[in-house]
Amino acid sequence: MTVFSVRHKTVFYYARPVSFGEHRLLFRPRDSYDQRLISSTLEIEPKPSDTRWIHDAFGNCVALYSFEGTAKRLSFDARLTVDHSPQAAPDFRIDPEVLTYPFEYGADDRIDLGRTIERHYPDPGDEIGKWARRFLAPGERHTDTGKLLMTLCYAIRESFSYARRHEKGTQTPLETLMTRKGTCRDFALFMMEAVRSLGFAARFVTGYIYVPDRDGSDTLGGGATHAWAQVFLPGAGWIEFDPTNGIVGNRDLIRVAVVRDPSQATPLSGTFSGASTDSLGMKVQVNVTTEDETPPSLSPAHLLNKDANF
């Protein structure tokens, strides 16, 4: 068991006082058998006039905030404590009929998994499918299912280059394949489309990653929210795959939300009333520490494009 402390702060800056529309925030980790939210606080300045919570279509906790008046600055400062049970590798005690690939999901599973099995992005030449099939056993031989998924995850880690990008959104999986570079969100989506091309159900996960930098780790994706994929295997359930770091299982990964497509998992979204030139950008910082560490202070303001992901 590990207790993680998370601080996630976002500050928006404006040239003059502006009014704010409703803001939608995904920050509360999902409670499960392998992680439990111990405590959470959220300081918002200026204070919202109304707060309400909902569960979205995927069961994620979403906070909605409304504001009155105007301000030149809008700040969200979340502090979370999570009891986390790491799994260094997944429990691949899957149903016997899916031990080897190819296999088919049962009729009930196919209904429930629905769109998570279908590919979502154009690929006229099936280039992503061709890339994924490189990892199948040659000829008529069957492929070990667990080995196939782990090898595919590790291949992205080894042959693609991580490049932090501040523009809004996620690049298409085909673009990721062609350029061989991207962010954690790009790699998660690329792996999802690759395994979907093979008939697996996959979904997108957004959350946080612990980076043990005191040990000289080369873990990527720290200092911001992180993203990875889950693949559904009957008998084992949803298994975590982080292709950015080659992590299989939930080690150092703190799950916040699961969705069908990255566009449904923006950590913070909202509007303001004013001219586009009123926005001066935003500062984002995410710190994840263990209970025996002192959280580092927030770095000096780093202004990003107002549409930056975090």
CA distances from 271 to 4, 17, 19, 54, 145 (A): 31, 14, 9, 19, 45
Alpha-carbon distance 162 to 171, whole Å?
A: 13
Which parts of the chain have pLDDT scores under 50?
A: 214-217, 294-310
The predicted pLDDT at position 141 comes to: 79
The predicted pLDDT at position 91 comes to: 61
Q: What is the 8-class DSSP label of residue 278?
A: G
Alpha-carbon distance 172 to 166, whole Å?
A: 15
The predicted pLDDT at position 139 comes to: 78
Alpha-carbon distance 75 to 77, whole Å?
A: 6
The model's pTM is 0.89
What are the chain's domains?
2-84+265-290 (2.60.40.2250), 96-264 (3.10.620.30)
CA distances from 122 to 118, 186, 187, 205 (A): 12, 15, 16, 21
The predicted pLDDT at position 102 comes to: 94
> In this structure, what are the phi and psi dihedrals at residue 259, rounded to the nearest 5 degrees?
-145, 170
